[in-house]
Amino acid sequence: MIRQPLLAFSTVYNFNIVTTIAVYKFSFLSREEVEAVLGLTLEQTRVYREAKAEGREEILKAAVPLLLKTGMSIEQIAQQLNVEVEAVRLAAVENMDK
């Protein structure tokens, strides 16, 4: 009974590894070309989701200090950027450390 979930996890994990390797191996191709080679959309891959999350974090790190200087509150920034208040607080604290 435990084998089935373990097999499903293993299959997904192996698929993610192969997809990640392929994305890096075909770095000279466009996104559309990589998707055609792999037969899937990159949005389905963990590497894409991780890169997108990292990009959002970088944008917050750059935008939050500027918006705070305009007088906006952390809550207002979170609402305008459609992100969690805690993410804005974290970006504000990280900026204060610099």
Structure tokens at 93: 């604290």
State both tokens at 80: 């305008």
Residue with more model confidence, 28 or 7: 28
d(CA 56, CA 63): 10
Is the pTM above the cut of 0.85? no
Q: What is the 3-state composition of the chain as percent helix, strand, coil, each rounded to the nearest 5?
A: 80, 0, 20
Residues 94 and 87: their CA atoms lie apart, in Å, by 11
The pLDDT value recorded for residue 14 is 67
pLDDT tens, residue by residue, 20-70: 777 677 778 887 887 887 787 878 777 788 888 888 889 898 999 999 999
pLDDT band of 6, cuts 50, 70, 90? very low
Map out the domains of the chain as residue ranges.
Answer: 1-44, 50-98
d(CA 49, CA 38): 17
